[in-house]
Structure 1
Amino acid sequence: ADSLRLYLINSPVVRAESLRFKEEGVKGISKDVLNPWFNAFKFFASQVEIYEQENGVKFQCDESVYSDNLMDRWILAATQTLIETVRTEMKNYKLYQVVPPLVKFIDQLTNWYVRFNRQRLKGVEDVEGIEVEGGLTDTATTLNTNSNSNSTSITNSTSNSTFHALNTLCLVLHSLNLIMASFTPFITEFMFQHLKKYLNLNQESIHFLLIPKPNSNYLNPVIERRVSLMQSVIEMGRNIREKNLISLRYPINSIIICSDNSEILNDLKHLQGYIRSELNCKEIIYSTRPEDYNIEIKAIPNYKILGQRLKQDLKIVKDELEKISSADWKLFLENKKIQIKNHLLTDQDIQVFKYQEKPFEGFDIQFDNNLALLLNTTITPSQKSEGLARDIINLFQRLRKTANLVQTDIVNMQVKILSDPSNSIATAINSHKHLFDKALKGSLSIVDAIPPNHLIKQSYTDPNIELALFK
């Protein structure tokens, strides 16, 4: 029912236009919106349960306390932007413009925030080297508002990183429920009934609550800009890896982030820990000299459009365009406009883009606006070995899931190598014990034969091994 409601709200019907109903559209809403959203809620609920078991306390969400972790601050800021957008569109009776920003936000929540903070939410160490506002440590910030004053004071206190992440996710899920209650009444009611015990709410139904207003304490356009840039870099890196058939489990030596704009590079440095972790690279190099990597700028005017508008001035403008320097074209890429004589030309009139005149040895490249990313595509034997170790870790994690084990279950693991002429499997396991210890709970050993009292056993062909778990 919720999928159908959201499908119709996003359809031409609300614009008084004809609709050719498609069942695939309703399924698409379930797949792209409701399922990921509900999965984020289920993940939160499961991690709260583990948090309470491990810490011996009841989790209680506190709106006055939030983390200085940059990704926490970002998702809270993005939530306020969504609230403002939905309120504006509803006020203007443009319900059909609610779903697109909602789909984008669900993607931000599940594929970026939850994915990047999965370890924190599970109570595992945060990604190393990630800067937060005010330093490199995760601290709580309490907003104490004086009722006799309009000012807000911020008090720092130490707290648990996992609590901060869970607290942030709880606030975001609750805000999302309030925003969407009128559009998806059933799923929001279900989630509200499970979330309200963490929020000290006494209302019998979410439909007794009002749509929230944006909280100015959480607004932060700087962090939103930085994360948007980080996402561009990571997506370019993923594309290059996919193009060159390099799995994300295989580390790469370096990436080079190139931009004429030093402010962009400074923004990205605040999130380099996430970039390094997500792209699995050892080093990030920043450069404001694209020419060092054979990157040039090319401009192609649309003379068909310009001719219709400029008429007899076209030749004058054409001659002037040929005199434009690379520095001016760089400004055009940022400002999307340029003044030629008495005519203002925009990116609708001229297509300006960067390209690589010749390949930079050992690297592949992708462009996105004023950013270029070069990724080292050379994989060394040691990197192959680490990638193989991560592949085996992934197989063990899947085996744990098949055995219905939970995060806190500690089991012993055994590997039987079925075929390994080059001894690469044994080398990968023995050389990367620290990776296995960090990712898996329990002891790992290589054996000649697996005993029959195993909890679960599975054979694989690539790599050619047999894995088993024991209680």
Structure 2
Amino acid sequence: MIPKSHHSLVNKNIERAVVAVQTVIGLGRVVRERKVVPMKYPLPEFVVIHKDPSVLKDVESLEDFVREGLNVRKVTLSQDRELYGVEMRAEPNYPILGKKAGAKVKAITEKFRGMSNTDVEKLLLKGEGESPLTVIDDVPIEFEDIHIVYRVAEQMQYETTAEQGFVVLLDYIADTSLKDEGLIHEITSRVQKLRKEAKLIPTDDITIYYSVEPQTSEIARVASEQRGKIEVILRKSFFPLSNLENKNDSKVVITRKLPVRDGEIEFVITRNA
């Protein structure tokens, strides 16, 4: 028997907040992909800008999902684009404007691109209740004829994109500690895959040994300096391979050499009993 839905029980506020959060997470992932920053690497800050405070309140109510969904340390909500140096530029929507303007589209494009940030602001304000927005070379310009492109003019650590009234900025420049977290994840994820390949279970009493080449690589530095954190994540001992007397010992479960970022790690997993 198929259960009946009760629309009276649907919480519209939660639905609205979920849609908003899905939108900003989607935009954040677009920016990550554009800057080629894998999700496994944490980043310092994600800024969400929207002129409607109620929309920002919705995002705030599910902020933890945004932080986890984008692997960022901080989520900042704001109504102030100027605070972050975000400027707007008008670009033609060629598929629509081209049909309407014909040969005039090139001249109209030049006039679009000559608009200042203030000009674009005024155009959008008119768009809320006026049609056409403006007339250029005797061609009426509607909202559907233009694309609004956002760019960060001053603060170069941010990459930006926009959609559905949201402007988002991602601080994609990670400091050393955040980069190290990403490299730790690279190491531990490979160990976990090896454990799975060897059909080991979490309760198996094992030790993981490692060796990195070149020793001057960042991954070698992290394996050495962050060994304690790696052991906490793996819940197993993680020692340099030089501590293992005999790699051919019968207690060796699996051995692999794997590329990791700027180096190659040899992993050897042994049983302790």
Structure 1 residue 415 displacement after superposition: 2.9
**Is the alpha carbon distance of 1:324 and 1:383 closer, same or farther for their aligned partners in structure 2, counting shifts above 3 Å?**
closer
Structure 1 residue 389 displacement after superposition: 0.9
**Is the alpha carbon distance of 1:426 and 1:218 closer, same or farther for their aligned partners in structure 2, counting shifts above 3 Å?**
farther
Correspondent of 1:437 among 232, 242, 245: 232
Aligned to 1:230: 21
2: CA distance, partners of 1:371 / 1:411: 50
Can you list the C-alpha shifts for 1:199-253, whole angstroms capped at 9, x where unaligned? xxxxxxxxxxx22211447522222222222222222222222222222222212
The one-letter code of the counterpart of 1:442 is: K
Structure 1 position 370 matched with structure 2 position 165: yes
Structure 1 residue 328 displacement after superposition: 7.4
Higher strand share: 2
Structure 1 residue 394 displacement after superposition: 1.0
Can you list the C-alpha shifts for 1:393-438, whole angstroms capped at 9, x where unaligned? 11012112212334x4344342322324336335423436346524
2: CA distance, partners of 1:378 / 1:421: 25
2: CA distance, partners of 1:363 / 1:232: 19
Structure 1 residue 391 displacement after superposition: 0.3
The one-letter code of the counterpart of 1:464 is: E
The one-letter code of the counterpart of 2:171 is: N
Aligned to 1:455: 253
Contact 1:415 1:467 survives alignment (8 Å): yes
Correspondent of 1:259 among 50, 58, 61: 50
Structure 1 residue 265 displacement after superposition: 1.6
Relative contact order, CA 8 A, sep 6+: which one is greater?
Answer: 2
**Is the alpha carbon distance of 1:361 and 1:325 closer, same or farther for their aligned partners in structure 2, counting shifts above 3 Å?**
closer
Contact 1:410 1:441 survives alignment (8 Å): no
Aligned to 2:268: 468
TM-score (norm 1): 0.44
TM-score (norm 2): 0.71
> Percent of aligned positions with the same letter in both sequences?
20
Aligned to 1:122: none
**Is the alpha carbon distance of 1:414 and 1:364 closer, same or farther for their aligned partners in structure 2, counting shifts above 3 Å?**
same
Contact 2:212 2:219 survives alignment (8 Å): no
2: CA distance, partners of 1:444 / 1:222: 48
The one-letter code of the counterpart of 1:466 is: E
1: CA distance, partners of 2:236 / 2:23: 37
Aligned to 1:239: 30
Can you list the C-alpha shifts for 1:351-407, whole angstroms capped at 9, x where unaligned? 35342273631111111121111111223333322211110011012112212334x
Correspondent of 2:146 among 345, 351, 369: 351
Contact 2:89 2:120 survives alignment (8 Å): no
Contact 2:42 2:73 survives alignment (8 Å): yes
2: CA distance, partners of 1:231 / 1:286: 15
Structure 1 position 295 matched with structure 2 position 87: yes
Correspondent of 1:414 among 208, 230, 239: 208
Structure 1 residue 327 displacement after superposition: 6.6
Structure 1 position 276 matched with structure 2 position 67: yes
Aligned to 1:311: none
Contact 1:417 1:425 survives alignment (8 Å): no
- What 5-or-longer segments of structure 2 have no aligned partner? 102-117, 133-139
Contact 1:297 1:326 survives alignment (8 Å): no
2:178 aligns to what SS in structure 1? helix
Higher helix share: 1
Can you list the C-alpha shifts for 1:314-335, whole angstroms capped at 9, x where unaligned? xxxxxxxxx9983772685xxx
Contact 1:416 1:449 survives alignment (8 Å): no
Contact 1:411 1:469 survives alignment (8 Å): no
Contact 2:160 2:167 survives alignment (8 Å): yes
1: CA distance, partners of 2:40 / 2:119: 45
Aligned to 1:428: 222
Structure 1 residue 260 displacement after superposition: 1.3
Structure 1 residue 287 displacement after superposition: 1.6
2: CA distance, partners of 1:432 / 1:327: 57
1:353 aligns to what SS in structure 2? strand
The one-letter code of the counterpart of 1:295 is: E
**Is the alpha carbon distance of 1:417 and 1:231 closer, same or farther for their aligned partners in structure 2, counting shifts above 3 Å?**
same
- The CA RMSD over aligned residues, in Å, is 3.4
Matches within 5 A, 1:374-389: 374-389=169-184
